[in-house]
Amino acid sequence: MAEFKLHCFGESGNSYKVALMLELSGCDWEPAFVGFLKGETRTPEYRANLNEMGEAPVLEHNGLILTQSGVILDYLADVIGKFGPKDAHERREILRWMFYDNHKFTSYFATLRFLVGIAKTGDPGAIEFLKNRTIAAYKIVETHLGKEDWLVGGRPTIADFSLAGYVYYKEETGLDVPAMFPNITAWAKRIYDLPGWKGPYDLMPTAPKG
């Protein structure tokens, strides 16, 4: 049995944030498939035994059950001793970017990707709203990465892995991210070049076809 067990699914960028951290850190870990698209996270069993919030990812380690990708990344940085802050100031900066990620950078883009690229449905007005919100959020990060190679401290940290959760997916969103945001695209390539990098569908299982 692996030291870390990650309940996840391939389509989930929030799960990928944690899977990428575990993989780049060289951890002994294993994925456990969550049938999110079939409603598993909405079942009483899932909410009673794994996550009362009805979400993925969920990490099991040494008898602990941890939820929310940002909390999990912070925990892993502590217990693994990699990709974390060097001091209290860096910790606050990392948390600042992770909170921004969860509130804006990931949230708008992930919802847009789901509606356009996975569900292939949605009100056109809602989709246009999400596109505009995504662009506004991405512009903030684009400007920052025009001055810095990494989000915090001049090196890769869990802040980068948090914001990178959805940047490697290829599903349609209606946005040409490489053309619109070259600094974000170059930053994603720097993460891609880290030793041990793997994509979301290489690290996490997906539902069987058919």
Is residue 92 located within the same domain as residue 168?
yes
Predicted confidence (pLDDT) at residue 199 exceeds the cutoff of 60: yes
Is residue 52 located within the same domain as residue 142?
no
Number of domains observed in the structure of the chain:
2
pTM of the model: 0.96
Q: pLDDT by residue (tens digit) across 170-197? A: 999 999 999 999 999 999 999 999 999 9
Range of the domain at 79: 4-83+197-203
Please check whether residue 208 lies inside any domain of the structure: no
Please check whether residue 37 lies inside any domain of the structure: yes
Please check whether residue 27 lies inside any domain of the structure: yes
Q: pLDDT by residue (tens digit) across 32-53? A: 999 998 999 999 999 999 999 9
Q: Please give the C-alpha separations between residue 43 and each of 20, 53, 55, in angstroms, as whole numbers.
A: 27, 11, 11
Q: Which one has a higher pLDDT value, 209 or 77?
A: 77
Amino acid, single-letter form, for residue 95: L
Is residue 125 located within the same domain as residue 29?
no
Whether 83 and 24 have beta carbons less than 8 Å apart is answered as yes
Angle at 203 between CA 38 and CA 41, to 5 degrees: 25
Is residue 71 located within the same domain as residue 118?
no
Is residue 108 located within the same domain as residue 186?
yes
CATH of the domain at 121: 1.20.1050.10
Q: Please give the C-alpha separations between residue 108 and each of 105, 114, 126, 144, 180, in angstroms, as whole numbers.
A: 6, 10, 11, 19, 16
CATH of the domain at 9: 3.40.30.10
Is residue 116 located within the same domain as residue 181?
yes
3-state DSSP call for residue 32?
A: strand
Q: pLDDT by residue (tens digit) across 83-124? A: 999 999 999 999 999 999 999 999 999 999 999 999 998 899
> What would the mean pLDDT of 205-209 be, rounded to a whole number?
81
Please check whether residue 177 lies inside any domain of the structure: yes
3-state DSSP call for residue 30?
A: strand
Predicted confidence (pLDDT) at residue 210 exceeds the cutoff of 60: no
Please check whether residue 209 lies inside any domain of the structure: no
Is residue 112 located within the same domain as residue 158?
yes
Reported confidence tier of residue 208, pLDDT bands at 50, 70, 90: confident
Whether 135 and 180 have beta carbons less than 8 Å apart is answered as yes
Is residue 92 located within the same domain as residue 57?
no
Please check whether residue 147 lies inside any domain of the structure: yes
Sheet containing 58-61: which strands, arranged edge to edge? Answer: 29-33, 4-8, 58-61, 64-67
Enumerate the β-bridge partners of residue 6.
Answer: 31, 59
* CA distance between the termini of the chain: 30
Enumerate the β-bridge partners of residue 4.
Answer: 29, 61
Is residue 79 located within the same domain as residue 103?
no
Is residue 74 located within the same domain as residue 94?
no
Q: Please give the C-alpha separations between residue 148 and each of 66, 154, 207, in angstroms, as whole numbers.
A: 31, 7, 38
Whether 153 and 92 have beta carbons less than 8 Å apart is answered as no
3-state DSSP call for residue 108?
A: helix
Please check whether residue 134 lies inside any domain of the structure: yes
Is residue 52 located within the same domain as residue 124?
no
Q: Return the structure tokens found at 102.
A: 């969860």
Q: Which residue has the tokens 């850190």?
A: 25
Q: pLDDT by residue (tens digit) across 134-169? A: 999 999 999 999 999 999 999 999 999 999 999 999
The pLDDT value recorded for residue 207 is: 78
Is residue 9 located within the same domain as residue 66?
yes
